[in-house]
Structure 1
Amino acid sequence: MRAIGIILAGGNNHRMKELSSKRAIAAMPVAGSYRSIDFSLSNMSNSHVQKVAVLTQYNSRSLNEHLSSSKWWDFGRKQGGLYIFTPTVTAENSYWYRGTADAIWQNIDWLKQSHEPYVVIASGDGVYKMDYNKVLEYHIDKKADITVVCKEMPQDTDMSRFGVIKADETGRVMDFEEKPMATDAHLVSCGIYIIRRRQLIELIEKCAEEDRYDFVRDILVRYKNVKRIYAYKMDTYWNSIASVDAYYQTNMDFLKADVRKHFLHDYPDIYSKVQDLPPAKYNAGANVKNSLVASGCIINGTVENSVLFKKVFVGNNCVIRNSIILNDVYLGDNTCIENCIVESRDTIRANSRYVGEDGVKVVIEKNERYIM
């Protein structure tokens, strides 16, 4: 593909509450065995984008560890490969990334030293499969300056989480509103853009001159009537995990047969860093229905309509329903978990009961192991 890739994975979001207090949103576990950023990286690799930069900043330790070897996504190559860019103090600049445009500006030398004519920009919190080559073909066919990948959302969607787009019958963007309080539009930006590399350099340098830092507000919204911006509508699964409810719903979606088939069985594959863990073990008394159980888990109780990540221990007579249990959680005997997200490396004492009655409940206990 005649493009380089940029994955924006440095932001934080208060909508994630306690879940983002010790990890970047792009490092959030998804579907039992993946991290959120795996989907964008796999799409880059499957689209034959051979040179990809990941811009990290907030709580990036676990994300950097996950990306420590590029071979899992087939970026271990002599030319191109995977680049991790964190904020760097220089003689001219000592700022952290002040926004998405500023993050690109601080690494603009990498853009200038590249030779590919186009740039694919993606966010690290999207869960989807996409061939970026098809978007590039659309971009070239429309003679667009910028192409924005969009998704038509259901009527009951909370649109205040998204950038909302209105496009004419040709696909040209007529209006772009970032996180509106109220709108009648249902076409949202997926945070995926294609733009010519030289034009991106020009626009980013212009933003830097004017002390503007945000790619959406200071480029897409500001230039919507000046540049030819087009919307490319995707018709397959997409969701952003940038809130607790959205994160919960995305994982629950993987319990649906069609979503699971789309991501886990249909070509091309989604790749992730592999850990050498034993297969899940189901002891006498285990009862598992419609759930995803990752490797390294030991199940002694009942699990229904839930997603269990790696190395989860479920004690005797436990009941887990409609819940997400993150990595390395110990659930003591006779524990009841329902409509909850249990934070990783937690110990839930025996005879505990957590039920999310008014929405999803995030459960965080002390990181200690109790023998009961």
Structure 2
Amino acid sequence: MKNMMGLINLHENHDSLREITGHRPLAAIPFAGRYRLVDFVLSNFINSGITNVGILSAGNFRSLADHIRSGKEWDLARKRDGLFLLPSLQTGTVQGPFPHDLADFFSNLDYIKSSRQQFVLLSGSRSVCNINYDEAYRFHLDKNADITVLYKEYEEEKVKRLSGVTMLGTTDDGRVVDMEICPVNVHSNKLSMEMYLMDRQLLIDLVDASVSRGGTNFARDCIMKNLENLKVYGFPFQGYLARIDSMQNYFEHSMRLLIPEIWQEIFFTNGSIYTKVKDEAPAKYQRDAQVKSSLVANGSVIAGRVENSILFRGVKIHKDARVTNSIIMQKGEIGPGAVIENAICDKDVKITAGKKLKGEINHPIVIEKGTVI
């Protein structure tokens, strides 16, 4: 797939994740012990042979820029093509169901125009999966499509719990004839993964035409309004998909990683998932440590009890402390005798000796970055 470039659009609404996105974009949310959400998109691109990748920045971009740096970990630090950070004209966080992303597409058209590849694959960062885009590319060519939208079919009961999503309606041959963005009542079971494949020149033309007519949102003004004029097809993704669009979904999909089959699929099915390398010692388990059904990242030191939990890099669990059904992010510290259950602790959270915090399995308690309790 050397004939395809990748674009990562960080203009994503994350109002329902504001407890952990107040100081970082959605793409920089820590996930699975050592990773950020953007790692999955970048790894899928490079595993599919896409080596020209542009990241359309939005909001507070500093933490993400620090994480991806030159793109070396994803083999994107290249003399030709490679990783490009595309500046945004906007400040502040992305809000509302229709982010004003078209202005930033338009301001970075020179990068898109100067790229050598014929096709472009546009993706957000909230859809976590392990996918090789080669099959979707062949589908796009076989259908002679103008735009191919990747989607995931959900069971009817799961669809009812979805919110803030884009749903597709298709014919029997896969033609997209309806598109609903953030519907109150969902009428389809086909969830858009917010991944779009199209000809690079078509993207340029759509952005130019939409902006000149007052358009502000890519999905609505470039795709949904052109369903009758363009051949838009939907490609069904058959693998595991974790859509991170709320604190409950973040917690639920994180806990599902403790199921070996899901962990294997999301990290190894179509290639490895890469992340920023940190030279830290392996996790240290002291004499009284008890760890069961958990993911523990390097640099952690455990002297207490950890069960059904995810510990990120540099976490310290002191003696007689107990952590159950919880996520402890980087450099968190749980003091002696403290009890944490059904909780999400952001970076640098410190729980002092003897404190007890307990959320509900369907409504975990969230401790913001740097908090000391």
Shift of 1:137: 0.9
8 A Cα contact 1:346 1:365, kept in partner: yes
8 A Cα contact 2:56 2:87, kept in partner: yes
Shift of 1:65: 0.4
Distance in 2 between residues matched to 1:176 and 1:168, nearest whole Å: 12
Query: Are 1:236 and 2:230 counterparts?
Result: no
Q: Hey, what does 2:79 align to over in structure 1? A: 78
Q: 1:285 to 1:155 in 2, by over 3 A?
A: farther
Deviation per CA, 1:238-265: give whole Å up to 9, x if none: 1221211111122112101111111334
Match of 2:368 among 360, 364, 367: 364
Q: Hey, what does 1:250 align to over in structure 2? A: 253
Return the letter of the residue paired with 1:287.
Q
8 A Cα contact 1:55 1:85, kept in partner: yes
8 A Cα contact 1:159 1:182, kept in partner: no
TM-score when normalising by structure 2: 0.93
Distance in 2 between residues matched to 1:166 and 1:337, nearest whole Å: 44
Q: Hey, what does 1:174 align to over in structure 2? A: 177
Q: 1:61 to 1:12 in 2, by over 3 A?
A: farther
Q: 1:285 to 1:154 in 2, by over 3 A?
A: farther
Equivalent residue runs for 1:249-268 within 5 Å: 249-268=252-271
Distance in 2 between residues matched to 1:365 and 1:266, nearest whole Å: 33
Query: Are 1:125 and 2:126 counterparts?
Result: yes
Shift of 1:160: 2.0
Distance in 2 between residues matched to 1:95 and 1:154, nearest whole Å: 36
Which secondary structure does the structure 1 equivalent of 2:157 belong to?
A: coil
Q: Hey, what does 1:310 align to over in structure 2? A: 313
Q: 1:366 to 1:45 in 2, by over 3 A?
A: closer
8 A Cα contact 1:70 1:76, kept in partner: yes
When the two chains are superposed, the root-mean-square deviation of aligned CA atoms in Å is 1.9
Identity of counterpart residues, as a percentage?
Answer: 32
Which secondary structure does the structure 1 equivalent of 2:156 belong to?
A: coil
Structure 1: segments with no counterpart, 5+ residues: none
Q: Hey, what does 1:324 align to over in structure 2? A: 327
Q: Hey, what does 2:281 align to over in structure 1? A: 278
Distance in 2 between residues matched to 1:15 and 1:218, nearest whole Å: 24
* Greater CA drift, 188-197 or 156-165: 156-165
TM-score when normalising by structure 1: 0.94
Deviation per CA, 1:274-322: give whole Å up to 9, x if none: 1011100111111111100000111111111111111100111111111
Q: Hey, what does 1:343 align to over in structure 2? A: 346
Distance in 1 between residues matched to 2:178 and 2:101, nearest whole Å: 21
Distance in 1 between residues matched to 2:156 and 2:303, nearest whole Å: 41
Q: 1:113 to 1:324 in 2, by over 3 A?
A: same
Which secondary structure does the structure 2 equivalent of 1:221 belong to?
A: helix
Shift of 1:366: 4.9
Q: Hey, what does 1:32 align to over in structure 2? A: 33
Q: Hey, what does 1:46 align to over in structure 2? A: 47
Shift of 1:269: 0.6
Distance in 2 between residues matched to 1:364 and 1:272, nearest whole Å: 23
Shift of 1:365: 7.0
Q: Hey, what does 2:148 align to over in structure 1? A: 147
Deviation per CA, 1:128-155: give whole Å up to 9, x if none: 1111121111011101111000001233
Shift of 1:43: 0.7
Q: Hey, what does 1:219 align to over in structure 2? A: 222
Equivalent residue runs for 1:197-212 within 5 Å: 197-212=200-215
8 A Cα contact 1:87 1:96, kept in partner: no
8 A Cα contact 1:6 1:52, kept in partner: yes
Distance in 2 between residues matched to 1:188 and 1:277, nearest whole Å: 39
Return the letter of the residue paired with 1:355.
K
Which secondary structure does the structure 1 equivalent of 2:46 belong to?
A: helix
Which secondary structure does the structure 2 equivalent of 1:161 belong to?
A: coil
Which secondary structure does the structure 1 equivalent of 2:84 belong to?
A: strand
* Greater CA drift, 8-17 or 110-119: 8-17
Structure 2: segments with no counterpart, 5+ residues: none
Q: 1:196 to 1:365 in 2, by over 3 A?
A: closer
Distance in 2 between residues matched to 1:277 and 1:3, nearest whole Å: 36
Distance in 2 between residues matched to 1:205 and 1:95, nearest whole Å: 25
Q: Hey, what does 2:4 align to over in structure 1? A: 3
Which secondary structure does the structure 2 equivalent of 1:222 belong to?
A: helix
